[in-house]
Structure 1
Amino acid sequence: MALISLDDLEGFDEEQLDDDITDNPEPVGDEEQERLYNHWQAVASTHQVSVPQEMTGPIQEMTRRNQEREPVPSVTISRHEKLGEVVYEERMYPAGHWACVTKGEKLYEQSISMGFMKLMRFICKENSAGRYLGMTVPIVNNIHITEDGFTFKKDILTAYYLPAEFQANPVQPTDPDIIIVRREAFRVITRIFYGTTTEETITQQINMLWEILGATDDVHRDSYMVAVYENPGVTCRRNEIWFIRREP
């Protein structure tokens, strides 16, 4: 596949694409739908994946409802600042149900892209409720590190927190690759970063947070989480690296 850089995407008018859809609650016409699909296809090519044509509907639905986002519940335990800037936070996430899919593609970015497309179809009506479920943020990707301490294991789990409406009685996926998991409460140390998420950029963020924290045995070294707050159609995405606290 021919690849393009993120700089090449400047020719796409992202804000106009979003405005055209979000300002109009009715389904868009064929021409606008094709333009939106081509934009996502261009972004996907930077991750060395292709967006199948059947993703056109979910892409349109999620773009149209872009402002309707429910935050995953959490409690901030502490915030560490330097010169007025937040360096990292510690948060508690309560127990809850997540829709999870695991992909083991050649590249990390391919795995998260393929996993998220499956979750998009689940969110956009491929579920037992037969309707749009609502978007929650962040989407969380679980990473496991090999024994050398540097390389990502192939399988990446991508998880979507079910909206509050479905926590007591979880909606079920029609895709057998997606499973509903109840995760117990967990604590993380988290730091914000922006841009694309690749194995290289995530490794940099992991190393940076380790330098800030110094030597500690209070967090896991063989697994991390990457929290993503923007959909793949956004060029400069907000992300967080999460270090997972060990159980006391």
Structure 2
Amino acid sequence: MALISLEDLDGLDDEQMAEATADESEAREEMERQRLLNHWQAVGRTHHVSVPTEMAGPIQEMTRQNQQREQIPFTTISCQNKLGEGLCEEKLCPGGMWACVTQGEELYEQSISNAFMKLMCFICKENSAGRYLGMTIPIVSHIHLTQDGSAFEKDVQTAYYLPSEFQANPPQPADPEVSIIYRPPFTVLARTFSGTTTEETVSHQIHQLWEHLGPSEDFQRDSYMVAVYENPGVPRHRNEIWFLHREP
């Protein structure tokens, strides 16, 4: 490998030096983009989902902005130290505007993964504001059980609560599969758990919470929500299972 001497460096003008620096920066940027895409593709395979190369940009943008996340402004009604193995909390979710995607794949985990990728594209730039909107947590998926309660229905709605600055005037999505809806306030009983969110793990959490609650007519038995606080690329990420109060 040829070495660059001080004389060689002296012979480079400022424009050449700037071009060399820009090329190196671009190469590092591309390597990081590819690394992140490879990681998400590996995670996607565990959910039987293919992450296309077009997702490289949104994935990189979400990773850069990871520390700037807005929490949905819940109001805590009550909190128990432990219920089973997880913290259990009753809380009120405020009324507000949500961006939603409904998917009906063969597996629950496929539906939520594909829906989240569509929401990522909306959040990152595919919106009428033409800018990164900002991330809110948690991302919430609404599931329904079949009539006999033995399995999940195929259609799952995955939703992103719009940041406070966009609640009054929501940006419109470029993707027709992303819809903006208003959800009135609702109360949930939330139990924390960690790890992946598949139909198997979510079903287990529902079963465990019912075991600890015992007979109760306060909550719906055919409809639940799953709240995810970290992106799918984070191992052992924090989740909650939400039991929905019955309408009065």
Using structure 2 for the length normalisation, give the TM-score: 0.87
Give the match for residue 10 of structure 2.
none
Superposition deviation, residue 50 in structure 1: 0.8
**Alignment identity in percent?**
66
Deviation at 1:214, TM superposition (A): 1.0
Q: Are 1:103 and 2:103 counterparts?
A: yes
Deviation at 1:81, TM superposition (A): 2.4
Q: How far apart, in 2, do the equivalents of 1:246 and 1:92 lie?
A: 14
Q: 1:18 matched to which residue of 2?
A: none
Q: Which amino acid aligns with 1:54?
A: E
Cα separation, partners in 2 of 1:91 and 1:28, compared to 1, 3 Å = farther
| 134 and 106 in structure 1: CA distance in 2 versus 1, 3 angstrom threshold | same
Distance in 2 between residues matched to 1:175 and 1:169, nearest whole Å: 18
Distance apart, 1:150 and its partner CA:
2.0
Q: CA deviation at 1:51?
A: 0.6
Which residue pairs with 2:62 in the alignment? 62
Residue 52 of structure 2 corresponds to 52
* Cα displacement string for residues 130-168 of structure 1 (whole angstroms, at most 9, x for unaligned residues): 000000000000000011112100001000000000001
For the pair shown, which has the larger CA radius of gyration, 1 or 2?
Answer: 2
Q: C-alpha offsets along residues 35-57 of structure 1, whole Å, 9 cap, x if unaligned? A: 11101110111001111111000
Query: Who is 1:160 aligned against?
Result: 160
Q: How does 1:175-194 map to 2 (within 5 A)?
A: 175-194=175-194
**Deviation, structure 1 residue 191:** 0.2
SS of residue paired to 1:114: helix
The 1:116/1:51 distance shift into structure 2, 3 A limit, reads same
Which residue does the alignment assign to 1:113?
A: 113
Structure 1 equivalent of residue 239 of structure 2: 239
Give the superposition deviation at 1:82.
4.1
Task: Find the aligned partners of 1:118 and 1:27 in 2 and give their Cα distance.
Answer: 27
Partner of 2:125: 125
Query: Which stretches in structure 2 are left out of the alignment for 5+ residues?
Result: 1-25
Matches within 5 A, 1:1-248: 29-82=29-82, 87-248=87-248
**For 2:191 and 2:101, how far apart are their aligned partners in 1?**
24
Q: Secondary structure at the match of 2:133?
A: coil
Equivalent residue letter for 1:108: Y
TM-score (norm 1): 0.87
Using the TM superposition, give the Cα deviation of residue 29 of structure 1 relative to its aligned residue in structure 2, in angstroms: 1.6
Q: Where do 5+ consecutive residues of structure 1 fail to align?
A: 1-25
SS of 1:80's equivalent?
strand
Q: CA deviation at 1:31?
A: 1.5
Q: Summarize deviations over 1:190-213 as a string: whole Å, max 9, x none.
A: 000000001010000001111111
- Kept after mapping to 2: 8 A contact 1:79/1:86: no
How far the C-alpha of 1:86 sits from its partner, in A, is: 6.0
Q: How many aligned residue pairs are there?
A: 222
The Cα RMSD (Å) is 1.5
User: What CA distance in whole angstroms lies between the structure 1 residues aligned with 2:212 and 2:101?
Assistant: 32
Letter in 2 for 1:179: S
- Give, as a single letter, the amino acid of the residue that structure 2 aligns with 1:186: F
Distance 2:125 2:131 in 1: 4
Aligned AA for 2:182? R
What SS class does the counterpart of residue 122 from structure 2 fall into? helix
Secondary structure at 1:29 match in 2: helix
Amino acid across the alignment from 2:180: I
- Give the residue type in structure 2 aligned to 1:125: K
Change (3 A) 1:93 1:28: farther
